[in-house]
Amino acid sequence: MSGPNILDAIGGAPETSTDHVVVATDVQKSFGRLHVIKGVSLTVAQREVVVVIGPSGSGKTTFIRCINHLEKIQGGRILVNGHLIGYREVNGKLVEDREQNIARQRQEIGMVFQRFNLFPHMTALDNIREAPIRVRGIPEAEATKTARALLARVGLEHKADVYPGQLSGGQQQRVAIARALAMKPALMLFDEPTSALDPEMIGEVLEVMKELAREGMTMIVVSHEMGFAREVADRVVMMDDGQIIEEGIPEHFFTSPTHERTKSFLSKIL
Amino acid sequence: MDLPILAAAAQPHFDLDFFLKFVFQPSPALIGGLAITIYVSIIAQLTGVILGVLSALAGMARNPILRGISGIYVWFFRGTPLLVQLFLVYFGTPYLLGVDLFPRDVVLGPIDLRGAVLAGIVALSINEGAYMSEIVRAGILSVEHGQTEAAKSLGMTYRLTMSRIVLPQALRVIIPPLGNEFNNMLKTTSLLSVIAVEEIFRVADAVNSATFKAFEAYFGVALYYLGLTTIWSLIQGIIERRLRVSTARTDDRQGILARLTGMRRQAPSRPGGGMR
C-alpha cells in the first residue's frame, strides 16, 4: 500500500541541531483543581519512537498535548529542539510566549489527532498544502508537488480532489498524517491515531506509521497498539495517575513488567 | 363650503386604473425610491455583517475589555428600538459630538447619499451588526474545536485559523439566518421614511397624501416589497444550494414555496426573532 520512503517526499528524515528532540522536565498540569500531570519528565532522542500507554485518565493524551502547547502547563518545562515551548523565561519565571512565537514553534511539531480533524471544506490535497503555503510561505506549485507526493506515499494519490467526508476513517487519518508531514516537522505526535477507527482500517494507518518510524521520524505515539509498539517502538512508557510509572523496551512490557498497575493494565489490553 | 377631497376620503373606492398605473408604470420618484431601498439595504447589510464578525470575534476574545465592548454593543442595540436608534443617530449625534455628522450630500456616481440616507445607513448598519454578532457567534461555536486545534498544530496564527478554517465552516450555519436578516432589512428600510429618506414607502406615503388613495398606494408598495423579498428568496436559495454542494451536504432540501411561506422543516435559527 504505502510505497517505501514516505519521507523522501519531504526531503528525508528531519535533521535537528540537538540530539534530544524533546526534553520535558517535571511537567505539571492542572485543570482547575484537578491535578492531571504530576511531574512528568521524558527525553526523546532524535529518530527515537516512544509509545505512551496507560489507562484512560492517566494523563497521556494531556501530556502530549502539552508538548505542542495545546495545553498550558503550570510547572516544569518542555523543550523541543532546544527551544522552550509555549513560554519565555523572565527572571526565572515562565511567562506565556507571544502567539506568533508559539505558532512558529508548532510548525516543527506535527500532530495527528484521534478524530483526524481534517478540514471538511477543503479537498485532501488542499488539506495538505494549506499550511505549507499559508504558514511556511512555500510557492503553491512546490507545495502542491510535495502534497501530491505525500498523498501517493500514503497510498491516496487518486483521492487528491476528494473531500474528507467522502473518505473512510482510515483514509482520512492517512491524509491527516500527510498533512502534518507536509510541514516537515522535526517531531510527530500521535494522539491515539487508531482508536476512532473501525478494526479493518487500523492496519492501513499503522502501516504508514511503521514506515515513518523505520525511516527515522522522531515520534511520540499515544496508543494501545502493542503490536505496533513491539515492532517499531524504541521505548514504551507507562503512565498512570499523571505520572510515568514504568518505562523500557517493548519486550520488557511483554515479558517482565514490574509495576502492579502495569501488569493489570497489560492484562486487559493484550 | 364644499369639500370634495374630504368627501372622496370619506367614501373611498378602489381605483383600479390608478393602482395599476402606480404599480406597472412607476413614477420616477418610485423608481428612485426603489433604488434607495435596494442600495441602502445592501450597504447596511454588508456593513452589518462586517460589524457582526468584528463584534463576535471581540465577544469571544480573551481580552475582557474587548468582550465588554462587544457585550454592551449587542445589549444596547438589540435592546432598544431601531426607530429610537435612527433618531438618536440622525438628530442626537450633533448634540453629542458638537458637529452634524450628516449635514450634506455625498454623491458617488449614481449613488446620491443625502445626509439623511447616510444617517439611515449608519443606524441600520449598527443595529444589524448587533444581530449579526449573535449569528456569527453561533456560527463560530458550531465549528468543532478540533478544527481550531488542527489549525494551531500546523502553526497557524489566530488570524489564519479564523479566516481560513473556522469562518469558512461557520458560513454554513451563518448563511441561512443571514438571508433572513436581509429579507428583514429590505422591509425595515421603510422606517427611514420618518427621517425623510425618499425610499419606496415614503414615496407611496406621499402619493397617499396627495391623492388620498391610501389602499392603492400602500398595497402597491406592499407588492413592491413582496417583489423584492421574493427575488431575494430565489437568490438565497441558489446561494444555500451552492453552499450545500461545496460542503458536500445533501440533506434538508427545501423548495421555493416552503421558503416563501416559512413552512420550514427545521425552525429558523434566528436568535433575535420577531419584529423590531
Average pLDDT, chain A: 92
At B250 the pLDDT is 37
Cα–Cα distance list, A197 to A51, A95, A160, A168, A222 (Å): 19, 39, 21, 9, 15
Q: What is the DSSP letter of A10?
A: G
Cβ-defined contact of A131 to B156 (cutoff 8 Å): yes
Q: Above 90 in pLDDT, residue A211?
A: yes
> Measured between beta carbons, which residues in chain B are less than 8 angstroms from residue A134?
156, 160, 164
At A44 the pLDDT is 96
Which tens digits make up the pLDDT trace of B197-256? 899 999 999 989 888 888 889 999 999 999 999 999 999 999 888 877 665 443 444 555
Cβ-defined contact of B165 to A99 (cutoff 8 Å): no
Instruction: Tell me if chain B has a CB within 8 Å of the CB of A106.
Output: yes
Cβ-defined contact of B164 to A165 (cutoff 8 Å): no
At A178 the pLDDT is 97
- The amino acid that residue A23 corresponds to is V
Sheet with A20-31, edge to edge strand ranges: A34-45, A20-31, A75-80, A83-84
> Measured between beta carbons, which residues in chain B are less than 8 angstroms from residue A167?
none
Average pLDDT, chain B: 84
| pLDDT tier, A5 (very low <50, low <70, confident <90, very high otherwise) | confident
Q: Above 80 in pLDDT, residue A15?
A: no
Cβ-defined contact of B169 to A120 (cutoff 8 Å): yes
At B104 the pLDDT is 57
Which residue in chain B has the smallest CA separation from A178? B154
The DSSP-derived string for chain B is ---HHHHHHHS----HHHHHHHHHS--HHHHHHHHHHHHHHHHHHHHHHHHHHHHHHHHTSS-HHHHHHHHHHHHHHHHS-HHHHHHIIIIIHHHHHSS-SS-S-EEETTEEE-HHHHHHHHHHHHHHHHHHHHHHHHHHHHS-HHHHHHHHHTT--HHHIIIIIIHHHHHHHHHHHHHHHHHHHHHHGGGGGGGT---HHHHHHHHHHHH--HHHHHHHHHHHHHHHHHHHHHHHHHHHHHHHHHTT-------HHHHHHT--SS----SS-S--
Q: Out of A121, A163, A183, whose CB is closest to B155?
A: A183
The predicted complex's ipTM stands at 0.92
| pLDDT tier, B91 (very low <50, low <70, confident <90, very high otherwise) | confident
Which residue in chain A has the smallest CA separation from B158? A99
Cβ-defined contact of B155 to A131 (cutoff 8 Å): yes
Q: Out of B153, B168, B246, whose CB is closest to A70?
A: B153
The angle, 0 to 180 degrees and rounded to 10, between the axes of the packed helices B167-188 and B115-142 is: 140
Cα–Cα distance list, A176 to A188, A226, B45 (Å): 12, 22, 38
Distance of CA B270 to the CA centre of its chain: 14
CB A220 within 8 A of CB A235: no
Q: Above 90 in pLDDT, residue B118?
A: no
Instruction: Tell me if chain B has a CB within 8 Å of the CB of A99.
Output: yes
Instruction: Tell me if chain B has a CB within 8 Å of the CB of A162.
Output: no
Q: How far is A268 from chain B (nearest CA, A)?
A: 29
Cβ-defined contact of B147 to A103 (cutoff 8 Å): no
Cβ-defined contact of A100 to B157 (cutoff 8 Å): yes
At B122 the pLDDT is 93
Instruction: Tell me if chain A has a CB within 8 Å of the CB of B160.
Output: yes
**Poorest-confidence range of A47-56, A133-142, A205-214, B236-245?**
B236-245
> Measured between beta carbons, which residues in chain B are less than 8 angstroms from residue A130?
154, 164
Stretch A104-119: mean pLDDT:
96
Distance CA(B200)–CA(B125), nearest Å, equals 19
Q: Above 90 in pLDDT, residue A201?
A: yes
Cβ-defined contact of B154 to A120 (cutoff 8 Å): no
